[in-house]
């Protein structure tokens, strides 16, 4: 970015009022100016701190290292300044690798059309993966504009997320598929695996939340589980307890009596993990998803979708479903849009039935 500073006295010799003027060339090749006045002397106007303030006001930076930075180089800087946890940084790294041509290019040289062309190559992936790429790029380019002043405007401003096509875009198990999964796991695998999958299916908890459960989190009297932490990666090849995903994730979930009885059996049959008192002493979900993939062709997260859609199908209101999932109402509306549309249609039918007799009675 080309720029220079000049000063001039807008006042008089007796009462000076110096002005600092920044002249700079935009990425489109146009010359523009920014200015700040009211300085008592020429030296005051030319102070480095004042120059940097004017650069920031024009969304520019005087840091040469930042000017040549690419997204791979920006990520650790952003992670440090935002105190991102390891698993979040890892997700960003994965997203950047999927758009490698963009990620290795200097940020100031990346144009919106180049991004669109690159994202076209990722459209064969799932909607969630595509959106993860877009969200990652939007976040980092916004930081490049607002936090680091590398560029004046984000090229991601005109790139939109894809919307889920509806219930076909969600992997939801039918009653027969769920029964088949639970039957096969119970028959062919360790009892702990069965109890864990059964618990996920009938509570809708995330796998990290399930792996983070300790016996103190199980309320046998009230037939409920308390979600107050998760088990996830804390460093490369290291796992441990972490805070929940969002403030809404801290919640109490009722569970069926049958599931509670199986938890009682689990506690009687197998000793607790003496290190941290966890119910399920597995490290991560990768080794566990193989069971659901084997019998129903999808990962463990399909159990969460199945739980949510089952509640919606049985008329549970959206606010309650969101609270049980630990999500916002807007997230539930967005993810399960076709199911909530079905609820509205059923409500319309009920309204017609309820008031039709009154309106037609003479």
Q: What pLDDT does residue 166 have? A: 47
Q: What pLDDT does residue 61 have? A: 61
Question: Does residue 25 sit in the same domain as residue 82?
Answer: no
Class of residue 150 by CB neighbours under 10 A (exposed 0-12, middle 13-18, buried 19+): buried
Average pLDDT over residues 295-313: 92
Q: What pLDDT does residue 265 have? A: 94
Q: For residue 229, what is the domain's CATH number?
A: 1.10.443.10
Domain boundary among the residues 251, 282, 300 is at 300
pLDDT at residue 24 greater than cutoff 90:
no
Question: Does residue 224 sit in the same domain as residue 288?
Answer: yes
Q: Tokens representing 75?
A: 């990520």
Question: Does residue 226 sit in the same domain as residue 119?
Answer: no
Question: Does residue 101 sit in the same domain as residue 195?
Answer: no
Query: What is the C-alpha separation between 339 and 351, in angstroms, rounded?
Result: 18
Class of residue 354 by CB neighbours under 10 A (exposed 0-12, middle 13-18, buried 19+): exposed
Question: Does residue 118 sit in the same domain as residue 213?
Answer: no
Q: Looking at the domain assignment, is residue 345 inside a domain?
A: no
pLDDT at residue 94 greater than cutoff 60:
yes
Question: Does residue 265 sit in the same domain as residue 226?
Answer: yes
pLDDT at residue 333 greater than cutoff 80:
yes
pLDDT at residue 354 greater than cutoff 90:
no
Label residues 162-183 b or e (16+ Cβ within 10 Å = b). eebeebeebbbbeeebbeebbe
Nearest to 309 by CA among 129, 165, 175, 128: 175
Query: What is the C-alpha separation between 261 and 266, in angstroms, rounded?
Result: 9
Q: What pLDDT does residue 67 have? A: 75
pLDDT at residue 304 greater than cutoff 90:
yes
Question: Does residue 112 sit in the same domain as residue 17?
Answer: no
Query: What is the C-alpha separation between 11 and 163, in angstroms, rounded?
Result: 58
pLDDT category at 336 given cuts 50, 70, 90 is: confident
Q: What pLDDT does residue 219 have? A: 96
Q: Looking at the domain assignment, is residue 158 inside a domain?
A: no
Nearest to 239 by CA among 172, 286, 290, 205: 286
Q: Looking at the domain assignment, is residue 330 inside a domain?
A: no
Split into its structural domains, the chain has a count of 3
Question: Does residue 296 sit in the same domain as residue 181?
Answer: yes
Question: Does residue 181 sit in the same domain as residue 295?
Answer: yes
Q: What pLDDT does residue 62 have? A: 57
Class of residue 218 by CB neighbours under 10 A (exposed 0-12, middle 13-18, buried 19+): buried
Domain boundary among the residues 147, 162, 185 is at 147
Q: What pLDDT does residue 361 have? A: 65
Of 78 and 237, the structure prediction assigns the larger pLDDT to: 78
Residue at token pair 């690159």: 118
Query: What is the C-alpha separation between 288 and 285, in angstroms, rounded?
Result: 5
Percentage of residues in the chain with pLDDT exceeding 70? Answer: 88
Average pLDDT over residues 88-111: 91
Q: Tokens representing 290?
A: 């193989």
pLDDT at residue 27 greater than cutoff 80:
no
Percentage of residues in the chain with pLDDT exceeding 90? Answer: 47
Q: Looking at the domain assignment, is residue 133 inside a domain?
A: yes
Q: What are phi and psi of 183, to 5 degrees?
A: -65, -45
Q: Looking at the domain assignment, is residue 207 inside a domain?
A: yes
pLDDT category at 183 given cuts 50, 70, 90 is: very high
Average pLDDT over residues 7-16: 90
pLDDT category at 66 given cuts 50, 70, 90 is: confident
Domain boundary among the residues 60, 78, 96 is at 60
DSSP 8-state symbol, 61:
-
54-68, 109-123, 177-191, range with the lowest pLDDT: 54-68
Question: Does residue 91 sit in the same domain as residue 128?
Answer: yes
Q: Looking at the domain assignment, is residue 326 inside a domain?
A: no
Question: Does residue 179 sit in the same domain as residue 268?
Answer: yes
For the chain, how far is it from start to end, CA to CA, in angstroms?
80
pLDDT category at 167 given cuts 50, 70, 90 is: very low
Greatest mean pLDDT among 216-220, 244-248, 345-349: 216-220
Query: What is the C-alpha separation between 210 and 259, in angstroms, rounded?
Result: 14
Residue 49 lies in domain: 3-60
Question: Does residue 230 sit in the same domain as residue 295?
Answer: yes
Q: Looking at the domain assignment, is residue 18 inside a domain?
A: yes
pLDDT category at 152 given cuts 50, 70, 90 is: confident
Tell me the average pLDDT of the chain: 86
For residue 341, the number of C-alpha atoms closer than 13 Å in the C-beta half-sphere is 8
């Amino acid at each position: 970015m080309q720029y220079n500073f000049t000063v001039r006295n807008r006042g008089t010799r007796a009462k000076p009022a110096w002005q600092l003027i920044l002249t700079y060339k935009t990425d489109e090749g146009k010359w523009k100016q920014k200015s700040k006045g009211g300085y008592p002397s020429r030296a005051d106007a030319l102070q480095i701190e004042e120059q940097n303030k004017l650069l920031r006001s024009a969304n520019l930076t005087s840091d040469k290292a930042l000017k040549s930075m690419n997204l791979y180089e920006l990520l650790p800087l952003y992670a440090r300044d935002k105190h991102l946890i390891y698993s979040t940084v890892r997700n960003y790294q994965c997203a950047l690798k999927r758009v490698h041509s963009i990620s290795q290019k200097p940020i100031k040289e990346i144009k919106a059309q180049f991004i669109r062309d690159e994202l076209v190559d990722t459209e064969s992936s799932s909607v969630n993966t595509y959106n993860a790429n877009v969200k990652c790029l939007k976040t980092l380019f916004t930081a490049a504009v607002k936090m680091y002043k590398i560029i004046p405007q984000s090229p991601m401003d005109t790139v939109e997320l894809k919307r889920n096509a509806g219930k076909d875009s969600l992997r939801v198990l039918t009653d027969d598929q769920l029964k088949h999964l639970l039957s096969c796991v119970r028959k062919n695998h360790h009892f702990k695996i069965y109890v864990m999958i059964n618990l996920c299916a009938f509570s809708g908890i995330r796998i990290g939340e399930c792996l983070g459960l300790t016996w103190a989190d199980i309320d046998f009297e009230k037939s409920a589980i308390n979600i107050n932490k998760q088990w996830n990666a804390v460093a490369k090849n290291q796992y441990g307890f972490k805070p929940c995903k969002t403030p809404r994730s801290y919640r109490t979930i009722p569970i069926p009596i049958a599931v509670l009885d199986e938890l009682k059996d689990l506690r009687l049959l197998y000793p607790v993990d003496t290190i941290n008192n966890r119910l399920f002493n597995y490290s991560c979900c990768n080794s566990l998803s193989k069971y659901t993939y084997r019998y129903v062709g999808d990962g463990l997260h399909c159990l969460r979708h199945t739980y949510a859609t089952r509640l919606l199908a049985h008329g549970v209101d959206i606010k309650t479903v969101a609270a049980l999932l630990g999500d916002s109402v807007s997230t539930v509306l967005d993810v399960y849009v076709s199911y909530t549309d079905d609820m509205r249609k059923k409500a319309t039918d009920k309204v017609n039935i309820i008031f039709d007799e009154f309106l037609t009675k003479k």
